[in-house]
C-alpha cells in the first residue's frame, strides 16, 4: 500500500518591492505548519519572484508525483507566475493568502490582492482551484490542504488505474453496464477484459499447498470452515489465489466479477468469499461485473486508507430511520463487529460456500457511488453511522442511520433510479469526495 504521507508542491511567490523579510518569515511559518501536520513538501526553499525562477520551479516539481500544488502568496504578485504553473503542472491548485493587520502604515504584503488577480485569470481560463485566506497556523487551513491533496492523489491514481472485468454483467442488471471509453476519457483508467474461464481454469489448477495455507489462515479468523463442502471451499480459495495472481501479473487495481450463475454452475462454489478476502487486502472486488462499483470502492479506500464494501441496499425502517446494507458474504473481515466471531457459511439460494457471515462493526461511515443513472456520471455521497445490531440477513450486513431521514434516502434512490450497489468505508470523508468531484467536474447527489 502506498504511503499515507501527502506530497505537496510548495511555491511561495512574492514581488521584491513589498516587505520581503516579512514575506520570508510568513513562508517559513507556513512550511513549518505543513510539515508539522505530516505533509511532505517539494520545492519552496526560497521565494520565487519572476518567470525565470518559475520555469526552474516547474522543472523541479514536474519530476515528482504531486498530490497538490500549493502556491503561497507571500506578498502581492500579479497572475503571470501562477498561470504559468497551472499551464505546466497537472496537480490540483491551492492558493494561500495571509490576512494583513491594519496598522495605519504601509501595506506590507497585499497578499489577498495577488490571489484575487490569479483567481480571476484562472476562472476566465476555465481552471479549477481552491483558496485559503488564513494565518500560517490556522488548523482549518491545514485540514483544507490535506483534503484537497487526498482528492488530488485519488485523481492521479485513477488516471493510472486498471480494472479487471471478469465476464459480462448479467441480463437485467443494467446498473452494472460499463462504458470503457467514457471511463478512459474522464478518469484516464483502463478496463481490462478477462474471461471467466481464465479464473475457473486457474482456480482448478491452484497449487494445493497454497490453498491449504489460505484455509489455515482463514481458520484463525472465522469459524466453521470445516463444516462446509470442502471441494467448494477449495474452489473459492482457488479463485481468490487466481485473481490475486492476475492482479499482480496484469497490474490490476481491482476486479468486477460476474459471480453468478457460472461460479455455482461451472466452478461449483461461491465467489463471495474470494471477493471478501480481496477486499480485505485493498484489492476491491465487486460482484455482477459492476465496474463503476469497483471504481467507487477504489476511490473510498484510497481516501480512507481502509477497505471498502460494495453492497446492496435491501431494507428500510423509516420509523427508526434505519437502512440495511447487505451482501451475500463479501464484506472485508476488517469490517466485522469485534464482539461477533465471523463464520463460514453457504449461499442462501445456491447452497454452496464460501461466504463470510458477520454484522458490520459500529462506527461512522462514508457512503458513495459513481453513478451513471442519468447517462452522465455523477458522484453520489452520504454519511451515516453503522449501529451495533445483530445480523439482519445471512451473509454480511450493516444497519445504518444516515444523517438524513431514511425515507428521504429511500426516495432519492428510487426517484433518481440509482444503481442497486452503494459502497461504504469507515470514517468521515465527505470533504475529500466533494473536492474530488470538483476536480473531475462531476455533479454531486447527496443521500
Separation CA 308–CA 447 (nearest Å): 18
- The parts of the chain modelled with pLDDT lower than 70 are 1-3
Give span(s): CATH 3.40.275.10, the chain: 162-446
Domain 7-147 fold is Rossmann fold (3.40.50)
pLDDT tens profile 326-373: 998 999 999 999 999 999 999 888 889 999 999 999 999 999 999 999
In terms of DSSP bridges, do strands 343-345 and 322-327 run parallel, antiparallel, or are they unpaired?
A: unpaired
Query: What's 264's DSSP letter?
Result: I
Question: How is residue 205 written as a grid cell?
Answer: 489448477
* Residue 292 near residue 254 (C-beta atoms within 8 A): no
Using CA atoms, how far apart are residues 307 and 280, in angstroms rounded to an integer? 6
Q: Are 93 and 69 in contact (CB under 8 A)?
A: yes
Angle between helices 139-158 and 430-440 (to 10 degrees): 50
Give pLDDT, residue 1.
Answer: 39
pLDDT at 260: 87
pLDDT at res. 2: 43
Q: What is the pLDDT of residue 3?
A: 54
> Which part of the chain is CATH 3.40.50.10940?
7-147
Give the closest residue to 255 by CA, choosing from 311, 298, 207: 298
SS3 content of the chain, % helix, strand, coil (to 5): 40, 25, 35
In this structure, CATH architecture of domain 162-446: 3-Layer(aba) Sandwich (3.40)
Residue range 371-405, pLDDT digits in tens: 999 999 999 999 999 999 999 999 999 999 999 99
> What pLDDT is attached to residue 348?
83
Decide if 371 contacts 380 (C-beta within 8 A): yes
Amino acid at each position: 500500500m502506498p504511503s499515507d504521507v501527502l506530497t505537496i508542491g510548495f511555491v511561495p511567490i512574492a514581488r521584491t518591492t513589498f516587505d520581503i523579510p516579512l514575506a520570508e518569515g510568513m513562508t517559513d511559518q507556513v512550511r513549518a505548519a505543513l510539515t508539522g501536520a505530516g505533509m511532505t513538501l517539494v520545492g519552496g526553499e526560497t521565494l520565487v519572484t519572476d518567470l525565470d525562477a518559475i520555469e526552474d520551479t516547474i522543472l523541479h516539481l514536474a519530476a515528482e508525483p504531486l498530490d497538490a500544488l500549493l502556491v503561497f502568496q507571500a506578498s502581492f504578485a500579479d497572475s503571470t507566475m501562477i498561470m504559468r504553473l497551472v499551464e505546466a503542472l497537472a496537480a490540483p491548485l491551492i492558493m494561500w493568502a495571509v490576512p494583513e493587520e491594519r496598522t495605519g502604515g504601509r501595506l506590507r504584503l497585499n497578499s489577498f490582492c495577488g490571489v484575487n488577480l490569479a483567481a480571476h485569470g484562472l476562472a476566465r481560463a476555465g481552471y479549477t482551484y481552491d483558496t485559503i485566506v488564513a494565518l500560517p497556523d490556522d488548523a482549518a487551513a491545514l485540514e483544507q490542504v490535506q483534503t484537497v491533496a487526498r482528492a488530488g492523489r485519488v485523481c492521479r491514481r485513477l488516471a493510472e488505474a486498471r480494472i479487471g472485468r471478469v465476464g459480462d454483467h448479467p441480463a437485467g442488471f443494467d446498473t452494472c453496464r460499463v462504458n470503457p471509453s467514457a471511463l478512459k476519457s474522464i478518469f484516464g483508467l483502463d478496463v481490462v477484459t478477462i474471461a471467466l474461464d481464465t479464473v475457473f481454469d486457474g482456480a482448478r489448477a491452484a497449487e494445493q499447498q497454497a490453498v491449504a495455507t489460505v484455509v489455515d489462515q482463514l481458520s484463525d479468523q472465522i469459524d466453521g470452515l470445516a463444516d462446509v463442502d470442502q471441494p467448494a471451499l477449495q474452489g473459492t480459495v482457488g479463485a481468490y489465489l487466481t485473481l490475486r495472481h492476475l492482479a499482480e501479473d496484469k497490474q490490476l487495481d481491482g476486479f468486477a466479477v460476474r459471480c453468478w450463475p457460472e461460479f455455482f454452475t461451472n466452478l461449483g462454489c461461491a465467489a463471495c468469499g474470494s471477493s471478501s478476502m480481496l477486499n480485505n487486502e485493498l484489492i476491491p472486488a465487486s460482484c455482477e461485473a459492476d465496474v463503476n462499483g469497483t471504481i467507487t470502492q477504489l476511490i473510498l479506500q484510497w481516501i480512507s486508507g481502509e477497505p471498502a464494501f460494495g453492497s446492496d441496499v435491501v431494507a428500510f425502517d423509516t420509523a427508526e430511520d434505519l437502512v440495511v446494507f447487505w451482501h451475500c458474504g463479501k464484506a472485508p473481515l476488517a469490517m466485522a463487529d469485534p464482539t461477533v466471531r465471523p463464520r463460514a457459511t453457504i449461499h442462501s439460494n445456491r447452497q454452496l460456500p464460501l461466504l463470510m457471515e458477520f454484522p458490520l462493526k459500529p462506527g461512522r461511515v462514508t457512503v458513495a457511488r459513481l453513478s451513471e443513472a442519468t447517462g452522465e456520471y455523477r458522484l453520489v455521497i452520504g454519511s451515516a453511522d453503522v449501529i451495533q445490531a445483530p445480523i439482519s440477513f445471512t451473509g454480511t450486513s450493516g444497519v445504518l442511520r444516515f444523517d438524513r431521514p431514511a425515507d428521504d434516502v429511500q426516495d432519492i434512490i428510487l426517484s433518481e433510479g440509482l444503481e442497486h450497489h452503494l459502497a461504504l468505508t469507515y470514517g468521515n470523508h465527505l470533504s475529500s469526495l466533494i473536492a474530488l468531484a470538483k476536480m473531475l467536474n462531476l455533479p454531486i447527489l447527496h443521500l
